[in-house]
Every structure is written in C-alpha cells, then in structure tokens.
Amino acid sequence: MTQTDPGFHSDHDHQHCIDQALLTARDLCRQRRQRLTPIRELVLKLVWQNHQPLGAYELLPALAAAGFNSAPPTVYRALEFLQQQGFVHRIASLNAYVGCPHPDRPHRSGFLICHRCKRAIELDTAPVHRALSASAEEVGFRIEQELVEVVGLCPDCQQQEATHA
C-alpha cells in the first residue's frame, strides 16, 4: 500500500474501485489456477458495492435476487475463498467483510472505521508493525498475525458534525 485509498474521498469514482477489484481478481485467479465462480465473483462485487463492510447475512438477499438460491454456508464459503485469495478482509469488531484495494500482494491490513458513515478504509500498518514488533520482542512473543481496527470519525463526517452543530 503506497498510495492512500480513495475510500474517504466521497467524490471518488467508485465504479473504478469496483471494476478494478473485479479485473484484478479475475487476473489473479487465472495466474493462481483458482476458480472465480459466478457466486464468488458476485459476492466480491457485492462486498465492493461501497466502502462499508457488509455482514454475511446481508449478502443473502442480493444472491437470491441474482437467482442463486443460497443458504448461509454458500456465502461463508465464498467469503472464505475471497479471504484466502486476499480479495476481501474481515473486520472482527463488526463481524463484517470489506474489499481489499490491493490484493495483488500479501500485506498486513489495518482499518480506519468511521462510526458515523460506517466506511472502513484500509491503512498502511508498516509503522504500526514496527512498533508492535519491538513490543513483542521485549517479551519474547513471536508475532504471526496482527489485527488493527481503529474506530473514529472520517474527515467527511467531522465536517458534517461541525456543520450540523
């Protein structure tokens, strides 16, 4: 993650986010000899509808509307696959899933989550990782996975709160 994600810029061309995510996913699956089935692709698209993490059960009606008679296991399987491929991340504090804007290479993901507009934007956690590594090393702990979820107010919502008041 070198550049800032566009997610908190409310005027960005989000269709571009979606298109890019789907193209990248197709490409990576081809390279990796993985199957991006219709259900998996649809789930990915739905998760990318916007930058707000989506719960697994919120996907079910949309799948039904698209003609898939799916039950929870189907959704969870698709999400599991997409997570394994690095196309989506799970936000533990929300029990929800969000698209990854740079699935091409493995990375440590952290999130800034706005409690007002509900958008979650992926964060560059390299500096956080350095701090964590140092702390962990002090006590001899071997890190395998890092979960960083920050809740607060995004720039847009700060403005709106100020205006409203």
139 binds DNA (CB under 7 A): no
Q: Read out DSSP for 6-46?
A: STT-TTS-HHHHHHHHHHHHHHHHHHHT----HHHHHHHHH
35 binds a copy of itself (CB under 8 A): no
Distance CA 157, CA 163 (A): 10
Q: Look at residue 82 and give the partner it binds from Zn ion, a copy of itself, DNA, none, a contact being a CB closer than 5 to 8 Å depending on partner kind.
A: none
Tokens of 113: 């989550």
Question: Mask of contacts with a copy of itself, 130-159, x by CB under 8 A?
Answer: xxx-xxx-xxxxxxxxxxxxxxxxxx--x-
17 binds Zn ion (CB under 5 A): yes
85 binds DNA (CB under 7 A): no
Distance CA 5, CA 21 (A): 13
Q: Is 53 helix (H, G, I), strand (E, B) or coil?
A: coil
141 binds DNA (CB under 7 A): no
Q: Which residues bind a copy of itself (CB under 8 A)?
A: 4, 8, 92-93, 110, 112, 114-115, 121, 123-125, 127-128, 130-132, 134-136, 138-155, 158
